[in-house]
Amino acid sequence: MSRPGIFITLEGIEGAGKTTQVRRIVEFMESQGFECIATREPGGTDIGAKIRAILLNSEHITLAPMAELLLYEADRAQHLARLVKPALETGKCVICDRFCDATTAYQGHARGLSLDFINGLHAQILEGLAPDLTLLFDLPAEIGLTRARARLDAQNSTGLEGRFEAEELAFHQKVRKGYLSLAKDAPGRFAIVDAEAPPDQVWDQTKDLLARFLAQRSAA
Ligand code: TMP
């Protein structure tokens, strides 16, 4: 697909602080003259919000791994068709909190579903689209999980969004390892941010990476 827009994705384990950075990335990219759309997976469309509610409800302990995978892909197919692709085709900058790498890391590396099968689904669903830049907010799983669980407690969570926070530490360690191996395999697309640092320092790193990305893009 030929397209004039910019597609930036954010990835990381639970508690990596991605959501805080999304707002700052939008402000920064707008200050550079780009019209931006901030979105997320799962749940970037109205139908996707319904799929998100199924996926994250901590009462859904019987959700089978393959059903989970296909619900993430259904959310993505809808999101790409109705929001991401149209926005990129009209030249917008799309900033997406999680995308395909999350499926490869969570459902593939951590749940153990076939990576070949997941890659095949992505080939069908993406039709050649790939993020221009993927920011991986990396930190030890112990720290991320402690942060994420504290956030849920502070929000007096009703369990509507806690299904992954309830997974064991070993699961989140596999997710982190999966992300790091994806980053190693695609160094041109990934940039790693040390997300253990305080939010302002995380932002300083992110801003430098965005500035470098834009400089390379305008030189190309
Ligand atoms: P969020 O809380 O960052 O919005 O992410 C929702 C949860 O869904 C998070 O625990 C990661 C998980 N997830 C997957 O397992 N596979 C995916 O493909 C995506 C996009 C998210």
Concatenate the DSSP letters of all residues of 14-55 into one string.
TTS-HHHHHHHHHHHHHHTT--EEEEESS-SSHHHHHHHHHH
Q: Does domain 6-219 have CATH number 3.40.190.10?
A: no
Span from the CA of 55 to the centroid of ligand 1 (angstroms): 9
Span from the CA of 95 to the centroid of ligand 1 (angstroms): 16
Per residue in 16-49, pLDDT tens? Answer: 999 899 999 999 999 999 999 999 999 999 999 9
Higher-pLDDT residue of 165 and 81 is 81
Place of tokens 């109205």: 46
Pocket flag, ligand 1, residue 14 (CB < 6 Å): yes
Neighbours of 128 (CB within 10 A): 7
Say which amino acid occupies 205: Q
Of the candidates 85, 76, 58, the residue with the CA atom closest to the CA atom of residue 160: 58
Neighbours of 150 (CB within 10 A): 11
Instruction: State the closest ligand 1 atom to the C-alpha of 164, by its place in the atom list counted from 1.
Output: 10
Span from the CA of 24 to the centroid of ligand 1 (angstroms): 21
Which parts of 53-205 are beta strand (E)? 93-97, 133-138, 190-194
Per residue in 171-190, pLDDT tens? Answer: 999 999 999 999 999 999 99
Say what the pTM is: 0.95
Sheet bearing 190-194, strands edge to edge: 36-40, 93-97, 6-12, 133-138, 190-194
Pocket flag, ligand 1, residue 137 (CB < 6 Å): no
Q: Where are the domains of the chain?
A: 6-219
